[in-house]
């Protein structure tokens, strides 16, 4: 994160406090609608040095750990540097999240290192096996996506963000957890209020307590009588005699909503924007479905939904030749790394045909995203359904200035499209 990023975020937080809608407040606080293209500034900085020390001592401190920046941050901007940091969990710790998001989420994988992280990840990964994902696809994800497309297919026009990419991932996550449909809207609102803790400390703390209250009766029931859902898997998972306690499960479920729903909503929206604004590529992928996987990867590389994550240097050392002192806060800029010209030719161009190379949108190393295969599957199902159900899908020619924006989280605010009406539900 850059000094200008911190200043802009603080200003956005202040402006967004007056917003009533928690979703709009969160978007505004992340620069959605205000920060259109951070990549030229990032590229200019990367051309000067792969790592920048940003002095933040002049910024006012605050009691809220989410809005009180450290005195300095080392921002890593190259693919090689980011890869180096994320691969080395011993030198670059995730425990700093314990003092920030851990306050509202609890003790999660996000803030664990070493053996503890490996043990808990092995337990929780039991819920994300290949067999489980195949079942989720056919029994949950595809029916949910098709239900949303049913509602708009007969009209000939829609906003794919408001009517599809925004609501469907959270419904999938809530259903996977095992929450009844009448609680999905509450779950979504509380999850957004939770990750808005930097904007409103008390509301974030209250959302954390309310999510626990929402989960508690369901978890107690799953302890007694397991069902075919994620909460039951977590309630009965065991590894070498270790089982998850209730608080461990509450913490993971609090993390799952923003990790599993918020990022999927944004990454799928970004991919659709890339395809819709490149009609030749959209048509190529529509005609040849074998291109869908590489289109998904290019969308993730080109506009990853979350631009940066944090680490703490446990010992002094170097990143790309730049000295980093022990205890330093390190901002790992995934977005800049994914557009590093040393790794990709013309990296700012969206091109589903470019030679495939691993990107860092899901991070890498010990903390590589546990739900990345779920996210890819959801996006694949989304594209397949849109191609099957909405012939002639294209950006609405009357739409004005549709674009992606944001400073930390990025996505388009709307995707107005037109298509040939298909007569509604099948």
Model confidence at 56, pLDDT cuts 50, 70, 90, reads confident
Residue 17 has pLDDT above 90, yes or no: no
Distance (Å, whole) CA 298 – CA 273: 12
**Domain assignment of residue 425, yes or no:** no
User: For the segment 162-179, what is each residue's pLDDT rounded down to a tens digit?
Assistant: 999 999 999 999 999 999
pLDDT of residue 16: 43
| Sheet strands (E) in 327-392 | 329-333
**Domain assignment of residue 170, yes or no:** yes
**Domain assignment of residue 338, yes or no:** yes
What DSSP designation does 417 have?
E
pLDDT of residue 156: 95
pLDDT of residue 12: 45
- Asked if residues 340 and 361 have their Cβ atoms less than 8 Å apart, the reply is no
Where residue 32 sits, what CATH number does that domain have? 1.10.630.10
- Asked if residues 295 and 275 have their Cβ atoms less than 8 Å apart, the reply is yes
Number of domains in the chain: 1
**Domain assignment of residue 309, yes or no:** yes
- Asked if residues 420 and 156 have their Cβ atoms less than 8 Å apart, the reply is yes
**Domain assignment of residue 424, yes or no:** no
What DSSP designation does 323 have?
E
Q: Two tokens at 81?
A: 């540097």
pLDDT of residue 21: 77
Mean pLDDT, all residues of the chain: 89
**Domain assignment of residue 285, yes or no:** yes
For 308, the enclosing helix (H) or strand (E) is strand 308-313
Q: Are strands 157-159 and 411-412 parallel, antiparallel or unpaired?
A: unpaired
SS3 track for 42-89: HHHHHHHCCEEEEECCCCCCCCCCCCCCCCEEEEECCHHHHHHHHHCC
**Domain assignment of residue 426, yes or no:** no
Average pLDDT of the segment spanning 248-260: 87
**Beta partners for residue 233, in sequence order:** none
**Domain assignment of residue 159, yes or no:** yes
User: For the segment 388-416, what is each residue's pLDDT rounded down to a tens digit?
Assistant: 999 999 999 999 999 999 988 999 999 99
Cut 0.75: pTM above it: yes
| Sheet strands (E) in 213-307 | 238-239, 242-243
Give the full edge-to-edge strand order of the sheet including 157-159.
157-159, 416-418, 394-395
How many alpha carbons lie under 13 Å from residue 259 in its C-beta half-sphere?
Answer: 22
Question: Comparing C-alpha atoms, which of 79, 78, 110 is closest to residue 93?
Answer: 110
- C-alpha distances (whole Å) from 210 to each of 117, 203, 206, 254, 283 are 26, 10, 6, 10, 45
Q: Which domain holds residue 306?
A: 3-418
Model confidence at 1, pLDDT cuts 50, 70, 90, reads very low
User: For the segment 261-302, what is each residue's pLDDT rounded down to a tens digit?
Assistant: 888 999 999 999 999 999 999 999 999 999 999 999 999 999
- Asked if residues 273 and 165 have their Cβ atoms less than 8 Å apart, the reply is no
Which carries the bigger pLDDT value, residue 242 or residue 349?
349
Distance (Å, whole) CA 209 – CA 304: 30
């Amino acid at each position: 994160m850059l000094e200008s990023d911190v200043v802009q975020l603080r200003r956005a937080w202040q402006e967004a406090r007056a917003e009533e809608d928690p979703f709009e407040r969160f978007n505004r606080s992340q620069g959605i609608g205000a920060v259109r293209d951070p990549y030229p500034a990032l590229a200019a900085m990367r051309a000067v040095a792969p790592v920048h020390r940003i002095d933040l001592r002049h910024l006012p401190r605050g009691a809220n750990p989410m809005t009180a920046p450290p005195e300095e941050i080392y921002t890593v901007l190259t693919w090689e540097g980011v890869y180096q940091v994320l691969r080395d969990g011993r030198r670059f710790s995730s425990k700093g999240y314990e003092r920030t998001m851990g306050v509202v989420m609890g003790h999660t994988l996000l803030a664990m290192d070493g053996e503890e992280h490996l043990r808990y990840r092995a337990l929780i990964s039991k819920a994300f096996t290949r067999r489980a994902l195949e079942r989720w696809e056919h029994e949950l994800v595809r029916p949910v996506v098709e239900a949303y497309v049913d509602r708009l297919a007969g009209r000939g026009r829609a906003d794919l963000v408001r009517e599809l990419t925004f609501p469907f991932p959270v419904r999938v996550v809530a259903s996977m957890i095992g929450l009844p449909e009448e609680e999905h809207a509450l779950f979504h609102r509380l999850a957004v209020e939770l990750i808005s803790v930097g904007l409103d400390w008390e509301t974030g703390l209250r959302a954390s307590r309310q999510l626990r209250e929402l989960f508690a009766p369901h978890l107690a029931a799953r302890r007694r009588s397991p069902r075919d859902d994620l909460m039951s898997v977590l309630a009965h998972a065991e590894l070498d005699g270790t089982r998850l306690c209730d608080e461990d499960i509450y913490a993971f479920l609090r993390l799952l909503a923003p990790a599993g729903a918020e990022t999927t909503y944004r990454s799928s929206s970004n991919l659709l924007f890339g395809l819709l604004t490149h009609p030749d590529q959209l048509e190529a992928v529509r005609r040849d479905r074998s291109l869908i996987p590489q289109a998904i990867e290019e969308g993730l590389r080109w506009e990853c939904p979350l631009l940066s994550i944090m680490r703490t240097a446990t010992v002094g050392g170097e990143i790309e030749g730049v000295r980093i002192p022990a205890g330093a806060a390190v901002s790992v800029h995934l977005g800049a790394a994914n557009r590093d010209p040393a790794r990709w030719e013309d990296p700012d161009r969206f091109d589903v045909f470019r030679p495939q190379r691993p990107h860092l949108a899901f991070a890498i190393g010990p903390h590589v995203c546990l739900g990345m295969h779920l996210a890819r599957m959801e996006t694949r199902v989304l594209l397949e359904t849109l191609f099957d159900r909405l012939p002639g899908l294209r950006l609405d020619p009357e739409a004005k200035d549709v674009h992606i924006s944001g400073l930390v989280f990025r996505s388009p605010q709307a995707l107005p499209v037109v298509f040939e009406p298909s007569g509604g539900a099948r």
